[in-house]
Amino acid sequence: MSKIHVMDEILANKIAAGEVVERCSSVVKELVENSIDAGATLIKVELKEAGTKEIKVTDNGSGMDREDAVQAFSRHATSKLISEDDLYRIDTLGFRGEALPSIASVSEVTLITSTGDVGTIVKISGGKLLSVENGDARKGTIFQVQNLFYNTPARLKHLKSLYAELGSITDYMNKIALSHPDIQFRLYNNDNEILNTDGTNHLLKTIKAVYGLNVARKMIEVNTSDEDYKVTGYISMPEVHRSSRNHMVTIVNGRVVRNQELNRIINDSYHSFKPDTRYPIVVLEIEVDPSLVDVNIHPTKMDIKFSKLEELKELIANEIQNKLHHKNLVVKAEPTVSEEVITKPKYVEQTLVLEKEMPEQKVTFPEWEEEEIIVNSDFVNEDETLFESQNENNQELEMEKRMPEMYPVGIVHGTYIICQNEEGMFLIDQHAAKERVNYEYYMKKLGNPNQISTPLLFPITIELSTSEFILIKGKLDVLRNMKFVVEEFGYQSLLVKEHPTWLPKDYVEDSIRKMIEIIIQEGKHFSIEKFNEKIATMMSCKHAIKANQYVDMKEIEQLIFDLRKCDNPFNCPHGRPTTVFFTNYDLEKLFKRSGFENLK
């Protein structure tokens, strides 16, 4: 008797659902992408209890006729791929034909759709077709998914909290809205609005809807291309950063994708402009011939491979670095003044209890009630403020004018230098500023070592463990290229006889020991670029003016002069700002010298 048999279709769909439908956000993703492929300009997503009870997606797309509405739930049924050749030029978000049968196999589904003629209503439960009826003629599709995972208890049990599920859906909706600013997206949970974009095809306004006005005002437009790629979008100014990489959004031909190499090159382009543990907000749209990318890697279709990745990485890195190096990135202080009373919703808590399937979980979700609050009238006309700010951001400055000329007038707490010019007041962190000046000095010396070294009166002996000594022996050329004269001394020791002249006299031995430690730490991953970077950062910090250290006016003037000559005068090597700027208008607002009628 044969042991091998063809699997039942419902069972096969449940197995496929394990990859395609991982959680509530997976359902939202597949349904919203279908709506986009159907040409919708308005997509509304309504959730009940973060989607665990109900997910309803309504669009105004092309809709389906009766035959297609039923056929769509068959496995591998799709309108997006016709031949094998189409697989190599995919220009739609969906193409596998797995999503709808997978969703229907683990939930109760109602599909209401129409092409503008007589509509169709299809009802399916657990993968079994219950009924097919006539519906209304409203063009578009309504896809309703209820009781997700009701027939797969293991998957239901491992759903995360309602907050986590809602957070995952919101994150996806934010990203898909950023990838399609020409579509109106609306997201509701328990009738509370979470996202509402206007669909005017203006990416910056979508960024404002997702991240808020303050972030949108501090975005820098990017636009570059070569023979294969076109890259457009916005990057945040270095002062705007987040704790995770999740806000670096890369979009390829309208598809939100994940690519660690792209994330790394974007983050590296901000090096020394921000703290290393923080990440910028970036929305990059990449247009490329579909034949140069492969999205058929994982059922989620978010992983992607590029055939010319190095070319793309170089294009992105050059554009970001060029934008950052031609902008005035002095942090602008933004004091707020309460001047106007308007009505705005107040966040209050409403307890929701999951029924039956998850009775032990209790979580809270927001509802809205009206309350009077005080707001800064600067933000009354948000769009006008946004576009005025962007016009200022997009003005590229000559290198010598990025850090304006200023005149020192005093110092606060022995740490912050007070300067002024006709535009306003500046506060300079003397330690961070000196760090930046030192850093660029040492990077230049490390990158272009001269031929001059100076002998030590007493050679320095450095003892190492056996493993460290073996590792260092293979990297002695690194030190010798920097004009150190280093010899092996015995079985586990090095003897340093000369050092380059630029090494500070009072820090020779400590500097040498630190360099050797860095070589050992890097081990087999050693690279001369990272080595130079770490050495320059370490030495710049050690030899910077400390907080509360007295400096006279002549030293202050020299520090400001040196800072203005730096390639990046705005941040210390660790990414902290060197300078904060208060406009004259900001100062007048703080002291209420500006009339209410002048607030804009």
CA dihedral 98, 104, 105, 108 (to 10 degrees): 170
pLDDT of 501 reads 80
Is the fold of 218-325 the same as that of 451-501+505-542?
no
With a CB cutoff of 8 Å and minimum separation 6, the contacts of 112 are 119, 120, 121, 135, 136, 141, 142, 143, 144
Pairing outcome for strands 42-48 and 184-189: parallel
pLDDT bracket for residue 438 (50, 70, 90): very high
By the 10 Å C-beta count (0-12 exposed, 13-18 middle, 19+ buried), 539 is classed as buried
pTM for the structure as a whole: 0.74
A 10 A CB-CB count for 210 gives: 22
Q: Which two tokens stand for residue 221?
A: 């437009």
Contact indicator for 411, 244 with CB cutoff of 8 Å: no
Smallest CA-to-CA distance from 285 within 393, 168, 181 is with: 181
Query: Average pLDDT in the 155-181 region?
Result: 89
Asked if pLDDT for residue 367 goes beyond 50, the answer is: no
Contact indicator for 443, 449 with CB cutoff of 8 Å: no
In CATH, the number for domain 218-325 is 3.30.230.10
Looking at the chain, how many residues does it have?
600
Asked if pLDDT for residue 162 goes beyond 80, the answer is: yes
By the 10 Å C-beta count (0-12 exposed, 13-18 middle, 19+ buried), 245 is classed as middle
For residue 170, the SS3 value is helix
For residue 214, the SS3 value is helix
Query: How close are the terminal C-alpha atoms of the chain, in Å?
Result: 84
Q: Which two tokens stand for residue 2?
A: 């044969």
**Beta partners for residue 135, in sequence order:** 119
Residue in the block written with tokens 């009701």: 150
A 10 A CB-CB count for 68 gives: 14
Homologous superfamily (CATH) of 9-196 is Histidine kinase-like ATPase, C-terminal domain (3.30.565.10)
CATH pick for 382-436+546-598 out of 3.30.1540.20, 1.10.3720.10, 3.10.20.30, 3.40.50.12780: 3.30.1540.20
Q: Render pLDDT for 448-507 as a digit per residue (tens, 0 to 9).
A: 766 678 888 888 888 888 888 888 887 888 888 888 888 888 778 888 888 888 777 777
Residue in the block written with tokens 């730490």: 521
pLDDT bracket for residue 362 (50, 70, 90): very low
pLDDT of 427 reads 95
What are the structural domain ranges in the chain? Answer: 9-196, 218-325, 382-436+546-598, 451-501+505-542
Q: Render pLDDT for 46-74 as a digit per residue (tens, 0 to 9).
A: 999 999 899 999 999 999 988 888 888 88
Any idea which of 194-203, 276-285, 332-341 has the lowest mean pLDDT? 332-341
A 10 A CB-CB count for 544 gives: 21
Q: Render pLDDT for 6-62 as a digit per residue (tens, 0 to 9).
A: 555 555 554 454 456 778 898 999 899 989 988 999 999 999 999 989 999 999 999
In CATH, the number for domain 451-501+505-542 is 3.30.1370.100
Q: Which residue has the higher pLDDT, 398 or 286?
A: 286
Smallest CA-to-CA distance from 106 within 71, 73, 69 is with: 73
Smallest CA-to-CA distance from 401 within 198, 564, 225, 183 is with: 564
pLDDT bracket for residue 401 (50, 70, 90): low
